[in-house]
A = this chain, B = another copy of it.
Amino acid sequence: MEPKNHDLRLSAELLERMNAYWRAANYLSVGQIYLLDNALLKEPLKLEHVKPRLLGHWGTTPGLNFIYVHLNRLIKAHDLNMMMVCGPGHGGPAILANSWLEGTYSDYYPSISQDKDGMKALFKQFSFPGGVPSHVAPETPGSLHEGGELGYALTHAYGAVFDNPDLIACCVVGDGEAETGPMATAWHSNKFLNPKRDGVVLPILHLNGYKIANPTILARIDEDELIQLFAGYGYRAYLVEGHDPEIVHTRMASVLDQCLDEIAAIQQQARTGELPISRPIWPMVILRTPKGWTGPSSVDGKKTEGFWRSHQVPLANLAENPEHLEGLERWLKSYRPDELFDEQGRPLPELLDLAPSGQRRIGDNPHANGGLLLRDLRLPDYRCYAVDVPAPGAVVAEATRVMGRLLRDVLRNNQEQGNFRIFGPDETASNRWDDVFDATSRVWMEKILPEDTNLSQDGRVMEILSEHTCQGWLEGYLLTGRHGFFSCYEAFIHIVDSMFNQHAKWLKTCNRIPWRRPVASLNYLLTSHVWRQDHNGFSHQDPGFIDHVVNKKAEVIRVYLPPDANTLLVVTDHVLRSRNYVNVIVAGKQPAAQWLNMDAAIKHCEAGIGVWEWASNDCGCEPDVVMACAGDVPTLEVLAAVDILRQKVPSLKIRVVNVVNLMRLQPPSEHPNGLSDKDFDEIFTKDKPIVFAYHGYPWLIHRLCYRRTNHANLHVRGYKEEGTTSTPFDMVVMNDMDRFHLAADVIDRVPRLAQQAVYLKQYIRDKLIDHKHYIYKYGEDMPEIRNWQWPLPVVAAEEAGDGGREG
């Protein structure tokens, strides 16, 4: 486990310069946290040179600076294509400092020039109003993630290197972050990395020992446990530790050389050898250095360097504590800025010379601005996968299975480009995308047994029972300029609520940064949804992810509820072409009636919302009632309710409205897809009752529509947290969203039905009692429910499904 002796590669002179570079980065980091002026300390430090509010995180920063200068050496020495994924993203000052030192920052932001004016501006802008965030963020060159929420660095790094055989993602993992669940399982990503096809992640676990106010677990367990833990994860861990920079520099350089050698050997063997590959033991580094290294060793008599007191701003309240101001000046001067920067504030040439150049600079690596590398997918014509729907309701299909066929060919067409993958927590088959396995398989680097199906080392379907890992991989893959789809049980997508938040925030901010190029959208298929949890029940019933999503900026989120297979095809094609969105598609996987032929589906999806004339009988006049639906099961129940009502009250004028693009319901002031008030009023009328069956929690529809003219007459049914294992129809009954309740809702709201109401309501009550009796006795829905079909059209088949049918 000991590295070979590579120390000779690192001359004393180079080490000295690297240490100076590190001092420069540390100086620039402290400067960012503290200084408004006097950036080069050319005059004695006074209070007016210091920011009034001291914000930022020093603790992790010197360690990041240390890593950065070592990566620079590697990149230059080997001409590496290397990016850095910074887990301790709180250490924003480090990444900004290095980005400025290597010149990237001034390239991206010319007003932050590489001289004393630029240095002053660099210092001032940090965590300052109108400036830049204190964490790594979209504004930070070379970063591909928000450094605020912890836990996702390693999955992002793996996502970045899949299908990028030449890329090395050095991923710094903080020991705080290492305690999170998502990180604890992310180490297993190596089971899915093919050294032949993919690049490599070089993890550096940075043990600085402390979180905000606590020691960390991994820094305190015995070393043998630590090494065993990572051996168990499948890594060969090299320890680098110490406090004396000289010793740590030497050891770090030697270990990194060793790691690179091992990586090169593994890749070469995998890419040239004849032998079948087995999953390699990849190297990693465990770097143990003091928190707040090189900062004040103690403040007010309390241990600070090497302790959690270094976490944010070690010396605070300078106005009240003149000795803190002196301490700050001593601290800054300890880096000997005069030996680092010339009179103009430019880093000395021998330092500048240490940084790589052009796109080899970490801050300028194009993979961290993936839109630069994005290539469109080669998409097949989605219309070729259409389900033949001779008339609405005439055929049955499984929507997600049809979608799977389209995705199969997306995989095939882009096999060579190698820029499309599918992600999911072991649900690709369960969610009925099985056809994708005709084009590819699941990637799997462990042993493959003869009985295994659809497993291979070069598969493009990525399955691990961790929604966090799926989401993180996909984010990393997209952010480096590729495409993908995540299919998930609807209820459990809440597991990644917080990851979605960060990604949506990232996209929103990117839209405001000109040099960030658009990336492919993050596409979710949520299926195995709330209404069909036959095997699972209450714990698997939650349609609230949509509610969560619509809290984020309208410009980056889209929600689609295609009612059948052909609309799902149209939506799928659309989202695969879109950029910089999060697209949420909810669709069922069960056999279900199909409503629209392909032409009608295209028209309907383009409108996003529309009157289904073939299901309506208002003949273009003002109806007695509008029955609206969004989602596949609600659509079925609304149509069945229409059937009941038209049989019982043929004179009732019903307009059926279906919503595919949920954002159409909002006013255009709230969402770019919003329907104008005029169009909304035309569809929903200004004063007629609206009975709306919605896939999710009903109040969301009110929240989207409360500004609309006719909101007072809007009555919404949806999931109200009632459920267990039962029959499909019983699920809708429990939530009052079944055809009978919907019919009753109409009867209650149309004044001219008052006379018939008693009779009609009795009929409905009887039906519901029959239903309960039947399911308790037989365990399945009544034949009249199971076999219900929308009446076949009386018009010619070629017109049907396209608006031709009259009621």
Chain A residues close to B by CB (< 8 Å): 36, 51-53, 55-57, 90, 124, 127-135, 137, 146-151, 176-177, 179-186, 188, 191, 211-217, 220-221, 225-234, 303, 307, 312, 426-430, 442, 444, 446-447, 449, 451-453, 455, 463-469, 491-492, 494-495, 497-498, 501-502, 505, 508-509, 534-540, 542, 544, 547-548, 551-553, 697, 699-700, 702-703, 706, 711, 721, 724-727, 730, 775-776, 778-780
Contacts and interface: CB of A to CB of B under 8 A. Distances in A.
B55 A535 contact: yes
Contacts of A186: 181
Nearest to A463: B214
Given A53-B779, A779-B53, A183 B181 contact: yes
A552 B230 contact: no
Contact of A778 (B52, B429, B509, B548): B52
- Copies of this chain, tallied across the complex: 2
A318 to B, nearest CB: 14
A134 B535 contact: yes
A492 B497 contact: no
Nearest to A146: B539
A180 B779 CA distance: 34
A342 to B, nearest CB: 28
B211 A234 contact: no
A52 B539 contact: no
Contacts of A508: 721
Given A52-B780, A53-B780, A148-B540, A706 B702 contact: yes
Contact of A725 (B127, B426, B724): B127
Contact of A444 (B151, B215, B451, B721): B215
Contacts of A215: 444, 446, 449, 452, 455
Contact of A429 (B124, B212, B465, B547): B212
Contacts of A449: 215
A671 B67 CA distance: 55
Contacts of A495: 149, 497-498
Contact of A181 (B229, B468, B730): B468
Contacts of A497: 494-495, 497-498, 548
Contact of A426 (B90, B212, B225): B212
Contact of A779 (B52, B463, B505, B547): B52
Contacts of A217: 188, 191, 446, 464
A216 B551 CA distance: 36
A537 B426 contact: no
A505 B538 CA distance: 8
Given A135-B537, A135-B539, 6 more contacts: A52-B778, A191-B221, A494-B548, A495-B498, A501-B544, A505-B539
A337 to B, nearest CB: 23
Contacts of A55: 534-535, 725
28 contacts: A55-B534, A56-B535, A127-B535, A133-B537, A133-B725, A134-B536, A147-B539, A148-B537, A177-B465, A179-B465, A179-B469, A180-B466, A184-B188, A215-B444, A215-B455, A217-B446, A220-B446, A225-B231, A229-B232, A231-B232, A303-B451, A307-B451, A491-B498, A505-B538, A505-B721, A548-B548, A553-B721, A702-B703
Contact of A128 (B221, B232, B426, B779): B779
Given A426-B212, A429-B213, A534-B55, A231 B228 contact: yes
A632 B727 CA distance: 47
A400 to B, nearest CB: 15
A90 B489 CA distance: 15
Contact of A730 (B129, B463, B727): B129
Contact of A498 (B135, B464, B494, B779): B494
Given A185-B181, A215-B452, A229-B229, A53 B534 contact: yes
B36 A779 contact: yes
**SS of A interface (majority):** loop
Nearest to A219: B446
A446 B175 CA distance: 15
B537 A134 contact: yes
A217 to B, nearest CB: 5
Contacts of A534: 53, 55
B721 A551 contact: yes
Given A181-B183, A699-B703, A129 B727 contact: yes
The 8 closest A-B pairs by CB, nearest first: A148-B539, A229-B232, A181-B181, A184-B184, A184-B185, A220-B446, A129-B775, A494-B498
Contacts of A213: 426, 428-430, 453
Contacts of A183: 181, 185
B551 A502 contact: no
A426 B221 contact: no
Of A52, A231, A233, A536, most buried by chain B (CB within 10 Å of CB) is: A536
Given A181-B466, A702-B703, A430 B133 contact: no
A802 to B, nearest CB: 36
Of A55, A539, A542, A697, most buried by chain B (CB within 10 Å of CB) is: A539
Of A57, A137, A449, A542, most buried by chain B (CB within 10 Å of CB) is: A542
A242 to B, nearest CB: 18
B137 A539 contact: yes
A148 B491 CA distance: 10
Contacts of A179: 185, 188, 464-466, 469
Contact of A442 (B52, B214, B505, B538): B214
A342 B57 CA distance: 71
Contacts of A537: 127, 133-135, 137, 148
Contacts of A127: 535, 537, 725
Contacts of A727: 53, 129
A226 B233 CA distance: 8
B547 A551 contact: yes
Contacts of A538: 133, 137, 146, 148, 505, 509
A539 B149 contact: yes
A501 B542 contact: yes
Nearest to A220: B446
A762 to B, nearest CB: 24
Contacts of A446: 215, 217, 220-221
A779 B124 CA distance: 9
A465 B180 contact: yes
A539 B139 CA distance: 13
Contacts of A464: 179, 217
Nearest to A445: B220
A49 to B, nearest CB: 12
A623 to B, nearest CB: 24
A706 B707 CA distance: 10
A205 to B, nearest CB: 13
A435 to B, nearest CB: 14
